[in-house]
């Protein structure tokens, strides 16, 4: 029995598969970029980004871990897809969880 995930924004609300996974990746990466931009703006407003050390700390504390977690989430979906373990969870919920995890870390 084949289970499908659906992603909003993919033409025709197609199930997630090898063809639609790049759209999932793009949504995750763009959302992470936007979130990092907001965090950077907040840090700049507080004056944390005025010095090189502050910019380096921001990158190490927020930006790099968020990007690693997004890559991990995408890899997890790819492995589940290949193994046939994809559940009926809507991709929009997966995306929301992955973005939240990228920003906050695992629970």
More confident residue, 40 or 6: 40
CA 22 to chain CA centroid, nearest Å: 12
Question: Is residue 20 helix, strand or coil?
Answer: coil
Are 28 and 70 in contact by the 8 Å Cβ rule? The answer is yes
Convert the pLDDT of each residue in 35-80 to its tens digit: 888 888 888 888 888 888 888 888 888 888 888 888 887 888 778 7
Across the strands, what pairs with 15? 6
pTM for the model: 0.61
Q: How is residue 67 written in tokens?
A: 């990007």
d(CA 85, CA 63): 30
pLDDT of 102 over the 70 cut:
no
pLDDT of 4 over the 60 cut:
no
* Domain spans in the chain, listed from the N-terminal domain onward: 1-23+53-107
């Amino acid at each position: 029995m084949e289970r499908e995930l659906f992603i909003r924004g993919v033409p025709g609300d197609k199930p997630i598969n090898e063809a639609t996974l790049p759209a999932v990746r793009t949504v995750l990466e763009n959302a992470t970029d936007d979130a990092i931009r907001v965090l950077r703006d907040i840090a700049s407003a507080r004056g944390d980004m005025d010095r090189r050390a502050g910019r380096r700390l921001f990158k190490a504390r927020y930006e790099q871990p968020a990007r690693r977690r997004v890559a991990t989430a995408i890899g997890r979906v790819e492995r589940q897809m290949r193994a046939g373990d994809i559940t009926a969870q809507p991709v929009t919920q997966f995306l929301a969880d992955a973005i939240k995890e990228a920003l906050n870390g695992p629970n």
